[in-house]
Amino acid sequence: MAACGDQDEQKLKSARSWSATALVVARHWEQGEVPTAYAKRALRKASEELANGALPEAAEPVDELREAVERGDRAAVRRLITEIAGR
Amino acid sequence: MTIDLIRDVLDTQVLDRRKQPLGKVDGIGLELREGAAPRVAYLEIDGVTAWRRLGARYGRWAARIASRWQHEGHPYRFRWSQVLDFGIDIEIDVDAHRSPPLDLERWLSDKFVNRIPGAK
Amino acid sequence: MKKILGIALGIVTSIGGFLDVGSIATSAQAGAAFGLSLLWAVLLGTICVIFLVEMSGRFSIVSGHTIIDAIRKRFGFAAFIVPFAATLLVNLLVLAAELGGVCVALQLLTGIGFQLWAIPVALALWMLLWLATFDMVENGAALLGLVTLCFVVAIFVLGAEPVELAAGFVPSLPAEDRAHYLFLVVSIIGATIAPYLFLFYSSGAIEDKWDKSYITANRVIATLGMSFGGLISMAVIVVAALALKPAGIRVEQYEQAALMLVPAYGGWGFYLFVASLAIACFGAALELSLASAYSVSQAFGWNWGENLKPREAARFSTTYSAFIAAAGLIVLVGLNPMKLTLFSMAITALVLPLTALPFLVLMNDPRYMGSHVNSRFSNAVVALIVVLTAILAVVSIPLELIGSK
């Protein structure tokens, strides 16, 4: 039983970590510190992990971030970051 | 000088007279003599012999695989009288070039290595 | 003068060649998940590898044998071949992880999936070995590997607390997530004490014809080269702990690890990480392919050597070609590169006694070592670290397998 609780805990940690990853990637992309190809891929990966993990509802904002990165829309990325971070 | 056959000879590296590697001492043949101590008849260089030391079945498998590249002269044997030098390695008075222990080397050269550009 | 230059080159190349996919992945994951608290594991591994590398140099200098050659002779073919085959299989897994590391670096850079890079990267590695002279390639890769020093510099840029750093060197057990912690201890030690490292080193000592006048030089190269190398591994933990952990990022994929140098270097940080990963993994892949082909050749008494053309050593060059092809296929299958890396490192730790313990027996055999046999202290250090790590591996690998489901 303890192991089960432990595993849920791990899943939650992993999901939080992917959510944090998405934010940091977006922030670095917005400042021109990481290439677009990497940012797109990392955000897609983060959204997949979130959708299949403990926090599926967190996948949607990450998808929005990725779409904004794909459009090259820095203003939208900035706005989304403040929105997500505010939650 | 006494030599411990298992400890000092078996599995020792063998070189030819130009110090080219021939293989390892994979087996030792003793000759039993009536009324006298046994004597080393030959030393053997042959992968199949080595695998046979794990068990007969492994020996058969090894022999089946090795038959792809082995020509005549297997298992390859040499006599103690051919030994030129006995130290870290055993040097024997033969020419590795064209000798049976290098059948695999030649087979791989023909089938694979020399067909690829840059092998020089 | 020539000897001093040789020592300097030896130290520099051991530093540049120290990091590989294993140390980058395990250290990044350790720092991000557990902060500085796993530094002691790298220290333990580094101490053990200093002893092992020094021993392997001393062994070849004094006995004139390479390690593999001597283990087969001392224990006989039948006892030798099964552990040897197991070690080769693990080498193959690690080679796949290293190739995967290069492919992941290219994926990070271009966005093109790592599997698509498997064939080009394997081909590039193979062509370098086939066409170029090895010592040039290998020294070149190790010198380029000095780029990994950027992890050490990053500590100063980010500013680490000396007290917290020191605390990381005291072994401890965290309150939660203990199974994964122990698994990381095993993988870190496995990544630090790679058997190919000292097998390769012993072959080098034979090839370069080191005589007894090199005993001190060998000690200096092993001690300085390996400790500075270990320092870079530790630096990766520290940087991950300072840059990723506070942001709440754990390293489950390389996409997350790739962020670790950005806080220290801004826009350069990403590219420095990618370059470090690519160069370290490619250099290790070169060494590993050669070390495996060396071992097989030494086990069966074939021609081997750094600067032989493929035509002069068909069995030797076929062996590394087959190894690289098989490793490329494993990458192509598309296993998660991070998981593949962590498991190959843990399995390395598991099979380490298979090479290290017979080697210790040789180091204590006066017929090989004369008056240069091991001291009791160095026997104890290596045996203790290697055996305890392997026992820990037996326990923690199944736990991790269950936990990651």
Q: What is the ipTM of this complex?
A: 0.94
Residue A34 has pLDDT above 90, yes or no: yes
Q: Considering only CA atoms, which of B14, B27, B66, B30 is closest in space to residue C76?
A: B27
d(CA B101, CA C304): 15
Q: Say if C314 is an interface residue toward chain B (CB within 8 Å).
A: yes
CA distance B120 to B113: 9
B104/C315 touch (CB, cutoff 8 Å), yes or no: yes
**Is a pLDDT exceeding 50 seen at residue B85?**
yes
CA B91 vs CA B14, C335, C375: distances in Å: 6, 48, 34
- Name the minimum distance, in Å, from the CA of A25 to any CA of chain C: 8
| Whether A19 contacts A62, CB under 8 Å | yes
- Longest pairwise C-alpha distance within chain A: 47
Amino acid at B53: R
pLDDT greater than 70 at residue C27: yes
DSSP class per residue in B50-64: HHHTT-HHHHHHHHH
Predicted pLDDT of residue C138: 75
Contact C249 A10 (CB under 8 A): no
Provide the pairing of β-strand B76-78 with B83-86.
unpaired
Residue, of C143 and A41, whose pLDDT is higher: A41
User: Which positions in chain C have a beta carbon within 8 angstroms of at least one beta carbon in chain A?
Assistant: 107-112, 176-177, 180, 247-250, 252-253, 255-256, 258-259, 262, 266-267, 269-270, 403
Closest C-alpha among B79, B1, A21 to residue C244: A21
Q: Please choose, from the candidates C386, C369, C390, the residue with its C-alpha nearest in 3D space to the C-alpha of residue C51.
A: C386
CB contact under 8 A, C247 and A28: no
Tens digit of each residue's pLDDT (9 = 90 or more) over C296-346? 999 999 988 777 888 889 999 999 999 999 999 999 998 999 999 999 999
Place of tokens 């009536």: B34
Tell me how far apart the terminal alpha carbons of chain C are, to the nearest angstrom: 57
Residue C149 to residue C146: CA distance in whole angstroms:
6
- Say yes or no: C77 contacts chain B, CB-CB below 8 A: yes
Mention every residue, 6+ apart, whose C-beta is less than 8 A from residue B67: none
Q: Which of B15-29, C8-22, C35-49, C225-239 has the lowest mean pLDDT?
A: C8-22
What's the half-sphere exposure (Cβ side, CA atoms, 13 Å) at B17? 8
Tell me: pLDDT of C135 over 80: no
Q: Has residue C131 got a pLDDT over 70?
A: yes
Q: C289 CB near a chain B CB, below 8 Å? A: no
- Closest by Cβ to A17, choosing from C107, C249, C270: C249
Q: Please answer yes or no on whether C311 and B11 come within 8 Å at the CB atom.
A: no
- Token pair in block for residue C272: 């420095």
At A1 the pLDDT is 37
Residue C401 has pLDDT above 90, yes or no: no
Among B59-63, C12-16, C198-202, name the most confident range: B59-63
Distance, in Å, from the CA atom of C12 to the CA atom of A65, rounded to the nearest integer, reads 44
Contact indicator for A11, A4 with CB cutoff of 8 Å: no
Q: Report the Cα C181 to chain-centroid distance in Å.
A: 20
**If we measure between CA atoms, which residue out of C339, C345, C335 comes closest to residue C115?**
C335
Q: What angle, 0 to 180 degrees and rounded to 10, lies between the N-to-C axes of helices C267-300 and C134-144?
A: 150
Say what the pLDDT of residue A63 is.
95
**Confidence band (pLDDT; 50, 70, 90) for A84?**
confident
Select the residue of C64, C73, C314 nearest B105 (Cβ to Cβ).
C314
Listing DSSP states for chain A in one string gives -HHHHHHHHHHHHHHHHHHHHHHHHHHHHHTT-S-HHHHHHHHHHHHHHHHTSS-GGGHHHHHHHHHHHHHT-HHHHHHHHHHHHH-
Cβ atoms within 10 Å of C85's Cβ, excluding its own: 12
- From the list A13, A37, A38, the residue facing C250 with the nearest CB is A13
In terms of C-beta density within 10 A (0-12 exposed, 13-18 middle, 19 or more buried), how is residue C166 classed? exposed
CA distances in angstroms from C11 to C203, C225, C256, C283, listed in the order given: 17, 4, 32, 16
Mode of pairing for the β-strands spanning B90-92 and B13-15: parallel
Beta bridge partners of B83: B92
d(CA C392, CA C71): 26
Tell me how far CA of residue C230 lies from CA of A48, C14, C55, in angstroms: 36, 10, 18
Of C198, C216, C221, the residue nearest C6 (C-alpha): C221
Give yes or no for residue C358 having a pLDDT over 70.
Answer: yes
**For chain B, percent of residues with pLDDT exceeding 90:** 75
Mapped onto helix, strand or coil, the DSSP state of residue C390 is: helix
**Residue-range domain boundaries for chain B:** 5-115
Q: Is C337 within 8 Å of C99 (Cβ atoms)?
A: no
Q: Which of C77, C310, C318 is closest, CB to CB, to B50? A: C77
Residue C12 is predicted with a pLDDT of 87
For chain B, what percent of residues have pLDDT higher than 70? 99
Of the candidates C298, C261, C275, C368, the one whose C-alpha atom is nearest the C-alpha of residue B7 is: C368
For residue C162, give the DSSP letter: H
Full 3-state SS string of C103-147: HHHHHHHHCCCHHHHHHHHHHHHHHHHHHCCHHHHHHHHHHHHHH
For C66, C68, C212, C368, the CA distances from C372, given in Å and listed in that order, are 16, 19, 10, 9
B88 touches C111 (CB < 8 A): no
The neighbours of chain B, by the rule of 3 or more Cβ pairs under 8 Å, are C
C405 has pLDDT over 80: no
Please tell me which chains touch C, using 3 or more CB pairs under 8 Å as the contact test.
A, B
Please report the residues numbered 78 through 107 in chain B whose beta carbons come closer than 8 angstroms to any beta carbon of chain C: 88, 104-106
pLDDT in tens, C47-90: 999 999 999 999 999 999 999 999 999 999 999 999 999 999 99
Q: How confident is the model at residue A10 (pLDDT cuts 50, 70, 90)?
A: confident
- Cβ distance C259 to A6 less than 8 Å, yes or no, reads no
The full set of domains in chain C, from first to last, is: 2-403 (1.20.1740.10)
CA A29 to CA A39: how far, in whole Å?
Answer: 7
Give the mean model confidence (pLDDT) for residues C9-26: 90
- Predicted local distance difference test score (pLDDT) of residue B44: 96
**Subunit contact B105:C130, Cβ cutoff 8 A:** no
Tell me the mean pLDDT in the region A42-63.
94
User: For chains A and C, what is the number of CB pairs under 8 angstroms?
Assistant: 70
pLDDT in tens, C140-176: 888 899 999 999 999 999 998 899 999 999 999 998 8
For domain B5-115, give its CATH number from 2.30.30.100, 2.30.30.240, 1.10.10.10, 3.30.70.270: 2.30.30.240
The Cβ of residue C401 has, within 10 Å, a number of other Cβ atoms equal to 12
Chains C and B touch (3+ CB pairs under 8 A): yes
Other CB atoms within 10 Å distance of the CB of residue A78? 15
CA–CA separation, C6 and C135 (whole Å): 13
* pLDDT for res A2: 45
What pLDDT sits at residue C133? 74
